[in-house]
Amino acid sequence: MNPTTLKRSPIVLFRKFAAIEASAFVLYLAATQFDQFKYLIYSGISFGLVSYDTLKVFLLFAAQFIITIYAFLSWHYEAYTIRKDSISHQRGVFGRKTKTIQLENSMTLTVSSGLLGKLLHYGSVLVQNSGNHNSMVLKDVSYPDNHMKLIEKSRNVPQVSGEPPNVEKLLSGEEHEHLEFKSSLRFDTRNGKLNHDLEKAAMKTVAAFLNTQGGHLVLGVDNARNVLGLKRDYETIQVQNSDGFENHFTQVFNAMIGPEFRHFVKLYFHKVGENEVCVVKVAPSARPAYLKAGNDEHFYVRTGNVSTPLKLSEVESYTVSRWPRRAVTR
């Protein structure tokens, strides 16, 4: 991926300017005190070239101007750069300082935003690697949720790792918390026609795996472990092969779950006798995944061999226990 550079929100600069104006007012009030002491200083540095009041105004203006320029430059030269595998933080006006951390597969992300941040769409992203080492806070960046998704995509370890699944071993076992069989992705074998509800059922299982401990969804095999293959599914898509099938799967996945979770899922195609089946290997997600259905969103987890929806009142307690360090403030 190409490096992405982001700066702190301009709101930060406005806050600094407001603080400078407040400080200038305090300095002005202070300048009205200790007149005798200040006049002694004035007598030592002015040499009678300018009046006392003129010099006082000039010094206050110069101090405010210098501080304002410094505040702008410190904001201008501060940036975060997101690269594949790492994040860098550059800052400093007179001496540049750079801090870089490597992104790990086990990292957790925390998005926080105050009341003003919620109104103006800015906040901070805490990146925390395993063991709390090499942490970094992306402070006051615009649309922090978008940057969090970008960081998740930049991790240096593929989410789905390890050896390809052993199909024979999967077919020899019953469905359980980490395994489910489905006859097809979209072709209704009972009614002999296309059925989009089957796609939703498959994505429900994938979402539940994401939210629990991962698992395998085997497409082209019924609940009795009879191998039906993907031929009828292939006939319902434009490119009638495994590549076309995976492209269609990705389109459905992106629409119902979201492209930011796609790297947690990998498809493997295998020949079993004369038929081809697809094993969808799902890794545990680093954050909650919701299934979108129209204008509604649903949250599923695996309980035994079924995908169970959680009530709204149950989702918060589950996510806190499942992702304990990911406290998101919205």
Task: Look at residue 244 and give its three-state secondary structure.
Answer: helix
Q: Where are the domains of the chain?
A: 1-157, 167-322
Summarised one tens digit per residue, pLDDT across range 229-265 is 999 999 999 999 999 999 999 999 999 999 888 889 9
Record: fold of 167-322: 3.30.950
Instruction: Name which of 107, 104, 284 is nearest 207 in CA terms.
Output: 284
How many whole angstroms separate alpha carbon 268 and alpha carbon 277? 8
CB 106 within 8 A of CB 323: no
What pTM does this model have? Answer: 0.58
Show the tokens assigned to 214: 């991962």
Number of residues in the chain: 330
Annotate 239-268 with b (16+ C-beta within 10 A) or e (fewer).
eeeeeebbebbeebbeebbeebbeebbbbb
pLDDT per residue as tens, the chain (330 positions): 678 899 998 888 888 888 877 877 776 666 666 555 555 555 555 555 666 667 677 777 888 788 888 888 988 999 999 887 788 999 998 888 999 887 766 677 788 888 888 888 899 998 876 555 568 899 999 998 888 888 877 764 456 766 788 999 999 989 999 999 999 999 998 888 989 999 999 999 999 999 999 999 999 999 899 999 999 999 999 999 999 999 999 999 999 999 888 889 999 999 999 999 999 999 998 889 999 988 899 999 999 999 999 998 899 899 888 887 554 433
Summarised one tens digit per residue, pLDDT across range 127-185 is 876 555 568 899 999 998 888 888 877 764 456 766 788 999 999 989 999 999 999 99
